């Protein structure tokens, strides 16, 4: 149960939380043995599926594991209380092994050379992408909280792939506008910062050609804890829903939403899906 509770605490699917609520309710109000057993089995099936997927995913590199461990044990609450971080950063923000491997697949399959990682946190996604890039590949990662800069540099430098990563500190929207002024473009753009600004990020990325002609935008938290298909939403949930609706209406792109973890949405320009010769 302790393990289940820990898993539940970070579960992204609201249906799991509803089933768990029901299980707790039945403990006090009672229900037939048959109903309780079926409910227990239903929850167990969720966790078995999660675990099975994890067990059948290649392990992360030791350096990514180190970032994971550090993130889990870092004194985030104390740092925030002491005013050393701008906001209350939490370990569940880290993407983790399964999503990290998914990103690595995308980088490798698309022969990407340049990655833009929007929302660094402790550098997990940045390093995962860097690991799949060629020696002359580059990841630019953007982070708002200055506290994270040295921490990310310290941990990513433990990997030989760390030298491919450069971090820019500031509001992501300003940074991506600067990158557009510099005429930079990227093969993979991973959106993982504040959800209510995703649509603004997207417009700069598409309208100012930050996305290479055959590039892919990878959007994290596309389901945002189920808020996008529920009635109750916070500011980030609203932002995510608006983003999803607008992207679905954008005639320039082809997209797919995959229910991996909290939902990953892939977006490419339509021409990039036609199997033409590389234009760039």
Ligand X SMILES: C[S@@+](CC[C@H](N)C(=O)[O-])C[C@H]1O[C@@H](n2cnc3c(N)ncnc32)[C@H](O)[C@@H]1O
Q: Is there a contact between 140 and 179 (Cβ–Cβ < 8 Å)? A: yes
- How large is the greatest C-alpha to C-alpha distance in the chain, in angstroms? 66
Q: Which is nearer to ligand X, 172 or 179 (CB)?
A: 172
CB of residue 193 to ligand X, shortest distance in Å: 4
CB of residue 49 to ligand X, shortest distance in Å: 22
Q: Which is nearer to ligand X, 22 or 93 (CB)?
A: 93
Ramachandran angles phi, psi of 254, nearest 5°: -115, 140
Binding positions for ligand X, rule: CB under 6 A: 89, 93-95, 119-121, 124-125, 142-145, 171-172, 192-194
CB of residue 171 to ligand X, shortest distance in Å: 5
Q: Which is nearer to ligand X, 205 or 272 (CB)?
A: 205
Tallying the residues shown for the chain, one arrives at 280
Task: Give the alpha-carbon dihedral of 54, 237, 180, 116, to 10 degrees.
Answer: -10
User: Each residue of 91-112: b (16+ CB within 10 Å) or e?
Assistant: beebbbbbbbbbbbebbeebeb
**Interatomic CA distance for residues 70 and 75, integer angstroms:** 10
CB of residue 32 to ligand X, shortest distance in Å: 42
Q: Which is nearer to ligand X, 265 or 269 (CB)?
A: 265
Instruction: Report H helices in 74-197.
Output: 76-81, 97-109, 124-132, 147-156, 172-181
Please state whether beta strands 138-143 and 114-118 pair in parallel, antiparallel, or not at all (unpaired). Answer: parallel
In a 10 Å sphere around its CB, with 0-12 CB exposed, 13-18 middle and 19+ buried, how is residue 32 labelled? exposed
CB of residue 23 to ligand X, shortest distance in Å: 29
Q: Which is nearer to ligand X, 208 or 213 (CB)?
A: 208
Q: Which is nearer to ligand X, 46 or 102 (CB)?
A: 102
**Interatomic CA distance for residues 10 and 26, integer angstroms:** 22
CB of residue 35 to ligand X, shortest distance in Å: 38
Q: Is there a contact between 217 and 191 (Cβ–Cβ < 8 Å)? A: yes
Q: Which is nearer to ligand X, 217 or 272 (CB)?
A: 217
CB of residue 45 to ligand X, shortest distance in Å: 28
41 by DSSP, 3-state: which? helix
């Amino acid at each position: 149960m302790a393990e289940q509770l820990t898993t539940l605490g970070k579960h992204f699917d609201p249906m799991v939380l509803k089933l768990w609520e029901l299980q707790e309710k039945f403990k006090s109000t009672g229900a037939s043995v048959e109903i309780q057993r079926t409910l227990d089995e239903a929850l167990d099936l969720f966790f078995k599926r999660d675990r099975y997927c994890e067990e059948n995913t290649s392990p992360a590199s030791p350096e990514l594991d180190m970032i994971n461990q550090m993130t889990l044990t870092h004194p985030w609450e104390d740092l925030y209380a002491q005013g050393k971080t701008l906001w209350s950063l939490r370990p569940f923000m880290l993407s983790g092994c399964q999503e990290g491997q998914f990103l690595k697949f995308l980088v490798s399959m698309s022969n990407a050379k340049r990655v833009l990682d929007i929302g660094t946190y402790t550098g997990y996604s940045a390093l995962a992408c860097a690991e799949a890039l060629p020696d002359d590949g580059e990841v630019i990662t953007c982070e708002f909280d200055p506290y994270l800069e040295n921490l990310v540099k310290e941990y990513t430098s433990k990997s030989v792939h760390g030298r491919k990563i450069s971090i820019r500190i500031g509001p992501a929207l300003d940074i991506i506008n600067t990158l557009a002024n510099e005429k930079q473009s990227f093969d993979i753009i991973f959106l993982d910062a504040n959800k209510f600004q995703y649509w603004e990020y997207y417009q700069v990325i598409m309208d100012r050609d930050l996305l290479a002609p055959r590039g892919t935008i990878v959007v994290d938290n596309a389901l945002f804890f189920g808020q996008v298909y529920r009635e109750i939403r916070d500011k980030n949930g609203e932002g995510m829903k608006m983003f999803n609706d607008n992207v679905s209406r954008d005639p320039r792109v082809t997209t797919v939403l995959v229910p991996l973890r909290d939902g990953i949405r892939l977006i490419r320009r339509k021409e990039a899906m036609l199997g033409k010769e590389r234009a760039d």
